[in-house]
A and B are shown apart, each in its own frame.
Chain A
């Protein structure tokens, strides 16, 4: 009955946060644990009383401020100094600038929205196929939640009760691996697509572009440096990065307009509340998971299939790729972590940071696959290309991302390397 009501609410189109909240209500009613109703509102409130969650609105604010302060354009120009003159230079610029942006923004959809508005028209103007330009931009967005900071890592850290700062460090190597694999894919695709050539940038322009981008790099430096050297918590480093964005946008770029702050705060409220409310309702949904002993039951079934952690990770990846196609990444994370993390740790001895990076990377891939690939629809919306048209050139990038996912699932030290050196 509980499963039926969950499926009903989900597929009728009830907001996912309310699917969780209503299913919990149905469960309490059916199970006869009415005493749980008395603490229901308190539990809902308690779901948000976590310091780590403060990073969510603050990192969203950094993204907003950075966009208002003209930082994106400078980072793109900086990337063009190094790869601009090679054949297909603009496509490489797109990917490399996306890597820089991923070190500031923590959400795929947000990054594709920012980069798509700039890079897709520019690439189309220089003669690139529009579907291809959109696919490269969308693939670049995949790195956003893996290269720190990452909204998904913040939520995983809160759910798993592990350090968000360490989670960010765990994402660095997988994020760089993804970036490198995408550059290789781009080079291979160059054998089939006729990439346009770019004009070589003069020495004077190159130096100017590098100097102009230096202030913008203060933002990722503040975020990653603050966390890596233990100067600030991820939450504090986000607040410091917000200040850095305002200074860079106002003093260096002179593009930041204070009168835009109210509109920015309203967007911030809307975007962060959606995520926060989902986390709050996940707390009451957690009752079902605990009282029904779902992890224990599932663990028994899984252990009858395999005792090998790598095979478990592969099975998990298959399941998550399927779930990621149907449900939004944050919602999927909230549903899955309380069930599968205890199994991964206790039954298979998997490191929680390793598990976190694998699960987040997997769900991010789902953002770009139909039928519920939200990032795919954002890219389609911005470019005017059909999702089917984008999928063809995007597929090699998705295969590369799945390749990185398998390698990371197989070699946990790629994730934990930076942690053990601390």
Chain B
């Protein structure tokens, strides 16, 4: 196993762990909302926290799914092809995932614009007024901190996806191919 594959596997494990914890936290937060509301003491920040947890979970899970090639795809054509040609199509798919990941990485870099922010000595007010990029000044509605902390999932997602796509393209190994439907929810549940 190459270093790239080892790193890739570690990152995928980290994403899975964090994503599963967030999935658990969503349930707890919504229950907390029901309980606090029923005793007449609603916590106003819970909804936004649950939504943010879901967004993070969605992108972490998407990155892992693309890593394992488990996303929903139309495979009607590739299934009809001879296996050698189908493998070539698989490389094209991996390349398309890589292109998406790299473009997204560039776009999030431009959006966060860290070098310009550094040139203003991390003064977010000066950065916003001079660049008209308000990423660092927008606040969350109820959570009490700046929204860019939540938006950090986008650079994280584009970085991990780039790593997964690079590994899938250049260190091919036996992983499941893209499937033409959502993974049946419970078909692996019972042994």
Chain A nearest CB from B108 CB (Å) reads 5
Are B30 and A235 in contact (CB-based, < 8 A)? yes
The residue of chain A having its C-beta at the shortest distance from the C-beta of B18 within the complex is: A269
Are A54 and B57 in contact (CB-based, < 8 A)? no
Are B66 and A15 in contact (CB-based, < 8 A)? yes
Chain B nearest CB from A149 CB (Å) reads 13
Are A117 and B190 in contact (CB-based, < 8 A)? yes
In the complex, chain A residues whose CB is within 8 Å of the CB of B100 = 18, 21-22, 25
In the complex, chain B residues whose CB is within 8 Å of the CB of A377 = 180-181
Cα–Cα, bound, A238→B23 (Å): 14
In the complex, chain A residues whose CB is within 8 Å of the CB of B23 = 57, 61, 265, 268-269, 272
In the complex, chain B residues whose CB is within 8 Å of the CB of A275 = 182
In the complex, chain B residues whose CB is within 8 Å of the CB of A236 = 30, 33-34
Chain A nearest CB from B161 CB (Å) reads 10
Bin chain A's interface residue count: 35 or more
Cα–Cα, bound, A57→B61 (Å): 12
Cα–Cα, bound, A105→B189 (Å): 14
Task: Determine if A193 is an interface residue (Cβ-Cβ < 8 Å).
Answer: no
Secondary structure at chain A's binding surface: helix, strand, loop or mixed? helix
Contact with B along A50-78 (1 / 0, CB 8 A): 11011001101101100110000000000
Are B96 and A22 in contact (CB-based, < 8 A)? yes
Task: Determine if A113 is an interface residue (Cβ-Cβ < 8 Å).
Answer: yes
In the complex, chain A residues whose CB is within 8 Å of the CB of B11 = none
Task: Determine if B115 is an interface residue (Cβ-Cβ < 8 Å).
Answer: no
Task: Determine if B178 is an interface residue (Cβ-Cβ < 8 Å).
Answer: yes
In the complex, chain B residues whose CB is within 8 Å of the CB of A109 = 181-182, 184-185
In the complex, chain A residues whose CB is within 8 Å of the CB of B61 = 269-270, 272-274, 276-277
Are B111 and A38 in contact (CB-based, < 8 A)? yes
The answer to whether residues A38 and B107 also contact, given A9-B96, A13-B75, A107-B182 and a CB cut-off of 8 A, is yes
Are A277 and B180 in contact (CB-based, < 8 A)? no
Residue in B54, B65, B74, B110 whose beta carbon sits within 8 Å of that of A13 in the complex: B74
Task: Determine if B118 is an interface residue (Cβ-Cβ < 8 Å).
Answer: no
Are A278 and B72 in contact (CB-based, < 8 A)? yes
Contact with A along B8-45 (1 / 0, CB 8 A): 00000000100111111011001101100000000000
The residue of chain B having its C-beta at the shortest distance from the C-beta of A376 within the complex is: B181
In the complex, chain A residues whose CB is within 8 Å of the CB of B33 = 236
Task: Determine if B7 is an interface residue (Cβ-Cβ < 8 Å).
Answer: no
Are B76 and A110 in contact (CB-based, < 8 A)? no
Are A273 and B62 in contact (CB-based, < 8 A)? yes
In the complex, chain B residues whose CB is within 8 Å of the CB of A41 = 104, 107-108, 111, 151, 154, 158
Are A372 and B76 in contact (CB-based, < 8 A)? yes
Contact with A along B153-170 (1 / 0, CB 8 A): 110001000000000000
Chain B nearest CB from A318 CB (Å) reads 20
Chain B nearest CB from A209 CB (Å) reads 21
The answer to whether residues A273 and B151 also contact, given A11-B77, A13-B78, A15-B72 and a CB cut-off of 8 A, is no
Q: Which residues of B line the A interface, CB within 8 A? A: 16, 19-24, 26-27, 30-31, 33-34, 47, 50-51, 54-55, 57-62, 64-66, 70-78, 89-90, 92-93, 96-97, 99-100, 103-104, 107-108, 110-111, 150-151, 153-154, 158, 178, 180-190
Interchain residue pairs with CB less than 8 A apart (29): A12-B77, A12-B78, A12-B89, A12-B93, A14-B93, A15-B178, A18-B71, A41-B108, A49-B51, A50-B51, A67-B186, A67-B190, A109-B181, A110-B186, A113-B184, A232-B34, A266-B20, A269-B61, A270-B61, A270-B70, A274-B61, A274-B72, A274-B183, A276-B54, A276-B57, A280-B58, A326-B76, A328-B182, A378-B184
Please name the 6 residue pairs, one residue from A and one from B, whose CB atoms are nearest each other, closest first.
A273-B61, A374-B181, A110-B185, A15-B71, A276-B58, A277-B62
